[in-house]
Amino acid sequence: MYHHFLGQTRSFSKFLNISSSVKEALANGEGVVALESTVITHGLPYPHNLSTARSLEQKVRSSGSHPATIALFDGKIHVGLDDEKLEILASSKNAVKVSTRDIAKTIIKKEVGGTTVASTMKIAHAAGISVFATGGIGGVHRGADQTFDISADLQELSKTPVCVVCSGVKSILDIPKTVEYLETHSVNCVVYGSENVFPSFFTRKSNNKAQFSTERLEEVVELIKTSKSLGLPYGTILACPIPEKNAADGDLIQNAIDQAISEAIEQNIASQNVTPFILARVNQLTKGASMATNIALLENNASIAGRLAAKMCDRRPITVSHTQPTSSSHRNPKVSSRVLSRQITNAYQFQ
């Protein structure tokens, strides 16, 4: 695992431009949170995208960590943007959406590129950043049994050990199939809260569950560190329901999503254009309500990610607890790799 990380870092190094503030934070062992940039280039209109980008960075700072917004400019991958670059990114009319497969193409064409969840994870890992905040991950699209439209975000989560702090899967997607896909590919999936109900992006609840829920970020840190100690190469989702005061009217949003999906099919919108089209149309149909909700959950996730990254920097060793499990409830069940990580975490504690 370590050698794979070194190899990936070396292969990326000639293209990486890490800002001095991010470099210094990483060198000092301080918390760093990666932020994606597709939300700036394709997710929100100008100038809301610029003000939101600035707000997300500030939320990370005020939570005790350093922001590292990731984007592509002039044939380089930039990790950590100054305000001038944020302005260029937000106002660009020609920015392209960059998933993992598009990184090389965007570099050779020297395009302005906004990174998706998948490419941000890949780049963050190469830069040595283990926590990443976003709004919602991509997933299995509705009708994927016919179109095979499954987001590259899921593939990246199955092979890149970065914790993605999000509000679940974008509700325009097939949430049950996405959750099933994550389980199949051994991705740790935790709900941050008292109730184990997977959030539905704009609203706090779906009809799906995660592995477990927790109100303690320390437990999430233990899970991530234990997974790393086991050499498990999978990512972790920390699913954070939007704060109740910001949650959208579920029926209003769902009706808008259904209409937007129908229009996308009628207009033959496909591939990378589907999600931006539907989100923009939903915002129109809800008269801006969905955008306000989107910004609120982005800010909440950035704050939580900042706190998580700061706690990740606690260098105290994990040692085996002397507490023994009761014998009656343990009969050597078969466990998957992600469940194994969870069970070992329960036997560990920070000293």
Tell me the per-residue pLDDT of 218-230, one tens digit each, with 9 for 90 and over.
Answer: 999 999 999 999 9
Active site (annotated) includes residue 170: yes
Residue 310 exposed, middle or buried by CB count within 10 Å (0-12, 13-18, 19+): buried
Burial of 308 (0-12, 13-18, 19+ CB in 10 A): buried
CA distance 155 to 139: 10
pLDDT band at 261 (very low <50, low <70, confident <90, very high): confident
Domain that holds residue 315: 2-350
Q: Indicate which CATH number applies to the domain containing 262.
A: 3.40.1790.10
In the chain, what is the straight-line distance between the N-terminal and C-terminal CA atoms, in Å? 26
Q: Say yes or no to pLDDT of 155 above 60.
A: yes
Q: What is the pLDDT of residues 98-108, one digit of tens each?
A: 999 999 999 99
| Options 59, 97, 170, 225, the catalytic residue | 170
Checking if the pLDDT of 249 tops 90, the result is no
Q: What is the spatial distance between Cα 257 and Cα 113, in angstroms, rounded to a whole number?
A: 27
Contact 315, 29 (CB under 8 A): yes
| Spatial distance between the Cα atoms of 115 and 121, rounded to a whole number of angstroms | 9
Q: How many domains are contained in the chain? A: 1
Higher pLDDT, 202 or 338: 202
